[in-house]
Structure 1
């Protein structure tokens, strides 16, 4: 059940918390969550010049001394956050930045990060949020596609930025930030007024104007810069505020990258709207998580599913049930992790959702149905049109009928999820900086001539109750023995086997065989047994879906947002010369170790599979 707690003193934002009252009644039903989201977003379009920084100005007046952003070494109250973003806004104007200009931001997670982009977007500057993990040509690519007037970079990331400069055709102007920086942004802006900007002091900025460039993860190529308008920022923050019902007593624990939409906009913005505060951490730490969550008095946690899996695999922590969390919200919670996470750590409520930075379609599982990414209730069907269409694995495109129209999938049938586009702001695809990449995402003549839908690139299925379940990413699914194999479903089966800490499933080409054979890279721990795994796969999966090849690795690679890296693993395949990890093949009723001789038989097409 949900719980509520007394406010913590603003003078001591990190004061210890009392034992949680787990007997408190739920704060809101699922219907109330939907209605709250609708109510908070209903009037956004009525005030086209009321952008998110304006909303926060009002919060600063109401709760000036309450903590807003709690970092490792700095705490900003709502009024201090307002003062800082106003100084940055005036600095930008004095620097000659004008509405429509772009500034790239390269900083680690900290309260100042939000102050910078909120201040610059207030005066019409578009801020490109650069991934702090990128280096060299990858970072240079992200700077190039943004075409910024200047780059604001933390002094402790100078080496990363220096490594990108040789790959740029022109060196950008750089403004450094941080205690070790000379002529820093903080120093340069210190003399500017802290009060709200007056009428005529800055150009008028509307909801339709660009606010941010947020990059895709780049798991299938170089990152793409998605355009995010002020309207999207308002919709994201207000919609989630309606769903989670934040109060001034709430604290969001946010250890996700601030350069991504969820960690940097949704998580902090939705709680700041309610007058609450955000605990900002540079990165996730499984060993320190519960002590930090408990010590900071966090009541909300924004997750990515992999973080929850890490926590369920961690050793018991004395603080793991002393927290005050009333809600954990995020995406990517696997069914086999969901119940274990909720039960072990006494989490009152989980709010899973599905969305993409550039997408026009979102799904929310406000009912808490295990494994579902969300549903569209009947009273919102016209507002949030979602469609699953049959997928042609051979072409990688939706299947078409004789009339050239896409074919809606049946209940329980996997297909690609589409979101209908229109001229209404919330259903307008704002696209990427690349027109070519933008065009690839739009599908036309889906159900009738001239209609337009956005491709999500995700395979979903829907049950009879209307709940949507993620199946796989298009491109991750592969064909073997004439059947489509969903890597996510195979991984789910592998994760239920004793000793399997993590599974990464992908398809590999086999000489002389059509399609791709299933292969799984496994990180294993105590209790793992190959014979037991083989027996479990035989009972859990059809023959065509069982991994033909295995790779046992100490750890599996991830992106900075904890997405699995499949490309390098698939390229290595089952060749023992390409890795020191032990490799196996399912042969004669057991997994056999692949050596040079056996590999030669497979690669030469002499082994019947």
Structure 2
């Protein structure tokens, strides 16, 4: 609700006129007040009384975040600088639990020093990038910190990527080195000859021999290396890059999002201040550390707050509460899928034998949210909204079921986020002056964040590719000269400022907690099938978070080998990007600009009552006909996809 300017004007005019014609001031003021209340003021006052205490609390937390942000900027601090302050406070405290291994804050500091000295000796310096293609492991954070200490940049690569996608991610970040788990030796070996000679000369495995000539085991090289702090980085700035985090974006291959030290240092503070994580907490993380949720927001609670960090290699629904009990965890980070998988497990005594007091994450759907907190007795949920590269960050830590954040409606300048009207195709609706039109209360609109270079949380650093960066910035949105980050997400805000996620625009969808680029999947399938027309889109599957991939292929059962297609796709795509459904069509419909039409295909989905074309579903390692029985089981949610 906007401030009732009309009501103020009515009050002033009424008061002045009555005074001029001879009424006492108190009577004139009373009539003025009545005019104000009758023209929107009463509703505004009620809203103010309901929301101002929360707004005050939000303002206090934001001031704390800004204080730290200003310090980071003023002193040109690195992530490793803040970590060393934490390590000095809690030297003997366990920093990381991983399986049956532990490492204290002092040991973590020493190990990262050794890694820093090793890369310095190899000629790495400020600004040089090193690819980290690593699964969750005890060595992940020490490698990251070691690179930070010398001003090098960690390129956090999704370890599920293979072949062209993997090579692409290493090259677009101009990496000079590579660190990977020995268990990923096969994936690295596939692209070995495609890597630059400099990368091959500085490739290191962790956790054993990778079986690739020229690759050394990093642990063995650190035995005789100095454990002292590396020399200060000459010319360092908090505006230096600390890492690249990859995202699929809206089209094409993965893009490298630029993460600066100042942004990395301050974003985890949102969880610290608004959700209340403290040094007494033990944070459980099963999310991959190449993601911003796991590798920045969750990890940041250990690095900057001093909370212990219980890390698991991969998520396991059956072992989830066992781990939480084992490590005495009090907080865990999630994506919506994780909560659904845990909820689907058979009921056990361990469901309520844990010490979890807070869960933090994004994508928790309304129907899962309520059942989850009731069954597992979770006192507090902090649901987030944001993106790795974006400058919009929202949080709902007030247990408002279904909301992904909150914005002050009384003091909107605290977090200047805009929601603009779009049409059904994602185009912007504009007024007579050519500016965007703000969405009304409870009206869906694309979320945009105002870009301000003066504050880290409002900056937009974009990607390593400048053309991709420029596409995410929109100028002259509400007035000439302003700049906003385009999220591509449709959200809505209610009258109290709570924000709800509605949908995504463009050709990217989210499945299994990952962003999937339809353009990338289309290109891969077209290459494998030697077809020109393959349409990939997303469909809703009852009982599942996100939207599953579906491919419409121009061809017949005789021309398309669906029994081997999944295996071929898995060689080039991560598992979550392989389409769940396939539809064989006679021809693809094109727009006037020769773009493939997807709206009709998406609307029809895999509905056998709407689609007469042959439909198939991924079962195991092949596509099988989508029979009436399978279709019914999907609708009832009795089979897992």
TM-score range, shorter chain: 0.7 to 0.9
Contact 1:37 1:241 (8 Å CA) reproduced? no
Shift of residue 584, structure 1, vs aligned partner: 6.3
1:38 and 2:63 matched: yes
Q: Which residue of 1 aligns with 2:453?
A: 423
Matched, 1:441 2:468: no
What is the aligned partner in structure 1 of residue 15 from structure 2?
A: none
Match of 2:624? 580
Indicate the SS of the match to 1:475: coil
1:152 corresponding residue in structure 2: 179
Unmatched tracts of structure 2, length 5 or more: 1-52, 210-214, 510-536, 555-569, 586-605, 617-622, 635-641
Aligned to 2:245: 214
Conserved? CA contact 1:33–1:244, under 8 Å: no
Other-structure match for 1:81 = 108
SS of equivalent residue, structure 2 residue 130: strand
Offset at 1:457?
Answer: 0.5
1:290 matched to 2:321: yes
Question: What's the counterpart of residue 140 of structure 1?
Answer: 167
Range with greater deviation from structure 2 (184-193 or 338-347)? 184-193
Q: Quick check: 1:187 aligned with 2:225?
A: no
Shift of 1:40: 4.0
Please report how far the alpha carbon of residue 238 of structure 1 lies from its aligned counterpart in structure 2 after TM superposition: 2.5
The Cα shift of 1:440 comes to 0.8
Cα distance change of structure 1 residues 369 and 186 upon mapping to structure 2, 3 Å threshold: same
CA distance in 1, matches of 2:54, 2:420: 32
Label 1:566 to 1:400 Cα distance change in 2 as closer, same or farther (>3 A).
farther
The verdict on how the C-alpha distance between 1:134 and 1:186 changes in structure 2, with shifts beyond 3 A counting, is same
For residue 16 of structure 1, what is the aligned residue in structure 2? none
CA drift at 1:192: 2.7
Shift of 1:86: 1.2
Change (3 A) 1:560 1:66: farther
- Provide closer, same or farther for how the CA distance between residues 406 and 577 of structure 1 changes in structure 2, counting only shifts above 3 A: closer
Q: Return the match for 2:394 from 354, 357, 363.
A: 363
Q: Which moved further from structure 2: 278-287 or 166-175?
A: 166-175
Preserved CA contact (<8 Å) 1:253 1:301: yes
- Alpha-carbon contact 1:272-1:278 (below 8 Å) kept: no
Question: What is aligned with 1:543?
Answer: none
> Are 1:333 and 2:364 matched, yes or no?
yes
Q: 1:284 to 1:591 in 2, by over 3 A?
A: closer
Report if aligned partners of 2:288, 2:294 keep a CA contact under 8 Å in 1: yes
Q: Which runs of structure 2 are paired with 1:220-259 in the superposition (5 Å)?
A: 220-259=251-290
Q: Is the 8 A contact 2:548 2:580 kept in 1?
A: no
What is the alpha-carbon distance in structure 1 between the residues aligned to residue 183 and residue 434 of structure 2? 55
- SS at structure 2 position matched to 1:258: coil
Deviations along 1:424-474, one digit per CA (max 9) or x if unpaired, are 242221011111111110111110112111100001111111111111001
Match of 1:24 in 2: none
- State the match for 2:229 in structure 1: 196
Q: 1:507 to 1:295 in 2, by over 3 A?
A: closer
Spell out, residue by residue over 1:15-69, the C-alpha distance to the aligned partner (whole angstroms, 9 max, x if none): xxxxxxxxxxxxx989657634531441322333222211111221221111001
Q: Deviations over 1:163-200 (max 9, x none)?
A: 123444667224223242374222223323323345xx
| Residue pair 1:365, 1:372 contacting (<8 A) in 2 also | yes
CA displacement, residues 362-404 of structure 1 (integer Å, 9 cap, x when unaligned): 111021111011111257622421111111233x332222221
CA distance in 1, matches of 2:269, 2:142: 19
Aligned mates of 2:300, 2:584 — CA distance in 1: 40
Distance in 2, Cα, partners of 1:326 & 1:272: 21
Deviations 1:515-552 (A, max 9, x none): xxxxxxxxxxxxxxxxxxxxxxxxxxxxxxxxxxxxxx
Question: For the Cα contact (< 8 Å) 2:552–2:584, is it kept in 1?
Answer: no
Structure 1's unaligned 5+ residue stretches are 1-27, 479-486, 512-556, 594-609
Per-residue deviation, 1:261: 0.9
Name the residue aligned to 2:637: none
Displacement of 1:566 after TM fit? 6.1
Partner residue of 2:349 out of 314, 318, 323: 318
Distance apart, 1:90 and its partner CA: 1.6
8 Å contact kept, 2:275–2:397: no
Displacement after TM superposition at 1:318 (Å): 2.0
CA distance in 2 between partners of 1:209 and 1:172 (Å):
22
Q: 1:250–1:300: 8 Å Cα contact kept in structure 2?
A: yes
Distance 2:395 2:297 in 1: 14
CA gap of 1:183–1:582, structure 2 versus 1, over 3 A, is: closer
Given candidates 71, 82, 92, the residue that maps to 2:119 is 92
**Which stretch shows the higher mean deviation, 48-57 or 307-316?**
48-57
2:156 counterpart (129, 145, 148): 129
Q: Structure 1 329/565 Cα, relative in aligned 2: closer, same or farther at 3 Å?
A: farther
Match of 1:413 in 2: 443
Question: Given the alignment of the two structures, is residue 452 of structure 1 paired with residue 480 of structure 2, yes or no?
Answer: no
Q: Secondary structure at the match of 2:284?
A: strand
In 1: Cα distance, 2:263 partner to 2:351 partner: 36
C-alpha change, 1:308 and 1:564, in structure 2 (3 Å) is farther
Asked if structure 2 preserves the Cα contact closer than 8 Å seen for 1:257 and 1:561, the reply is no
Q: What is the CA–CA distance in structure 2 between the aligned matches of 1:148 and 1:73, rounded to whole Å?
A: 33
**2:382·2:395 contact (CA, 8 Å) conserved in 1?**
yes
Contact between 1:41 and 1:239, CA under 8 Å: does it hold in 2? no
3-state SS of 2:350 partner: coil
| Pair 41,568 (structure 1): closer, same or farther in 2 beyond 3 Å | farther
Mapped partners of 1:245, 1:225: distance in 2 = 31
- Cα deviation for residue 357 of structure 1 reads 0.6
Q: Which residue does the alignment assign to 2:49?
A: none
Cα contact 2:112–2:146 (8 A) shared by 1: yes
- Selected match of 1:274 from 290, 305, 309: 305
When normalised by structure 2's length, the TM-score is 0.71
User: How many Å separate the matches in 2 of 1:560 and 1:271?
Assistant: 33
Task: Confirm or deny: 8 A CA contact 1:363 1:374 kept in the other structure.
Answer: yes
Residue-by-residue CA offset, 1:95-117 (whole Å, 9 max, x unaligned): 11111111111111012101111
Which residue in 1 is equivalent to 2:143?
116
Change (3 A) 1:505 1:272: closer
Does the CA contact (< 8 Å) of 2:447 and 2:489 recur in 1?
yes
Distance 1:79-1:571 versus aligned 2 partners, 3 A rule: farther
CA distance in 1, matches of 2:432, 2:552: 33
C-alpha contact 1:36 1:245 (8 A) present in aligned 2: no
Task: Say if 1:509 and 1:186 are closer, same or farther in 2 by CA, change over 3 A.
Answer: closer
